[in-house]
Amino acid sequence: MAKIDMGRARFKIQRRLGVELPGLGKAGALERKPYGPGQHGMQRKKLSDFTVRLLEKQKVMFNYGLRESQLRNYVKNSKKIKTASWVDTMIIALESRLDNVIFRANWAPSTPGARQMVSHKHIKVNGQTVNVPGYQVKPGDVIEISDKGAKSGNYLQAKVRPRISSVPAFLTKEATAEKEKIKMVAKPLAEDIPFAFEKRLVIEYYWKVK
């Protein structure tokens, strides 16, 4: 996946996929134009089975800001775990990513914004600075933001205009006299994925991946 143009492209991506993806950070893509982009966007098109599966996979890829190679690695690793459906295992892993947790706690306006905060060393997990966006947060982990991070544009923008109305149940926010903290109190559930999602289509798209 090429780098997403975080300007108008965010609306075009969501309109093409027919769903709002919170991770892209720009709401209202389907309010005025609930059809695909381009001069032929309003025309009804018959999609092939492959295209339908591809579009469903792309919802995941764009919402979490992943390249295809990264998403395939999540698929491969999830298929090694036999205790649950691999697609459920994959969603739980994606929801447990540090950049996603920062976004879902409304500390950043988008997943790319949260990734930037992590990469710039604005985030601590259990008192230790972590600069790996894909770090897997575990139940019991406590996340803090640095003083510099609390003054960053991403954090301040999210405080004024949070992209998601409520924090998911697997997270709690603790406000101290100094600053907020996030705690993961339970593993995310597959149902916590924050957009309309058809698991079966993604399972069918990646059925050959081992």
Written in H, E and C, the secondary structure of 91-127 is HHHHHCEHHHHHHHCCCCCCHHHHHHHHHCCCEEECC
pLDDT of residue 4: 45
Flag whether pLDDT at 204 surpasses 60.
Answer: yes
pLDDT of residue 63: 96
Sheet holding 123-125, edge to edge: 128-129, 123-125, 142-145, 180-184, 171-175
pLDDT of residue 38: 46
pLDDT of residue 203: 96
Three-state secondary structure call for residue 32: coil
pLDDT tens sequence across 170-201: 999 987 656 789 999 999 999 999 999 999 99
Q: Which residues contact 151 (CB under 8 A, 6 or more apart)?
A: none
CATH of domain 9-83+196-205: 1.10.1050.10
CATH class, 97-187 region: alpha beta
Instruction: Indicate the angle between helix axes 68-79 and 49-63, nearest 10 degrees.
Output: 100
- Give this prediction's pTM: 0.87
| Average pLDDT along the chain | 88
More confident residue, 13 or 178: 13
| In the chain, domain spans | 9-83+196-205, 97-187
Flag whether pLDDT at 3 surpasses 60.
Answer: no
For residues 48, 17, 111 and 126, what is the CA-based torsion angle, rounded to 10 degrees? -50
Flag whether pLDDT at 5 surpasses 90.
Answer: no
pLDDT of residue 116: 97
pLDDT tens sequence across 86-141: 999 999 999 999 999 999 999 999 999 999 999 999 999 999 999 999 999 999 99
Structure token pair of residue 71: 């998403």
Q: What is the distance, to the nearest Å, from the Cα of residue 65 to the centroid of all Cα atoms in its chain?
A: 7
Q: What percent of the chain has pLDDT over 70?
A: 87
How big, in percent rounded to 5, are the helix, strand and coil portions of the chain? 40, 10, 50
How confident is residue 43, by pLDDT bands cut at 50, 70 and 90?
low
Q: Averaged over 1-26, what is the pLDDT?
A: 74
H runs (alpha helix) in the chain: 9-17, 49-63, 68-79, 86-95, 98-104, 111-119, 153-160, 199-205
Flag whether pLDDT at 142 surpasses 60.
Answer: yes
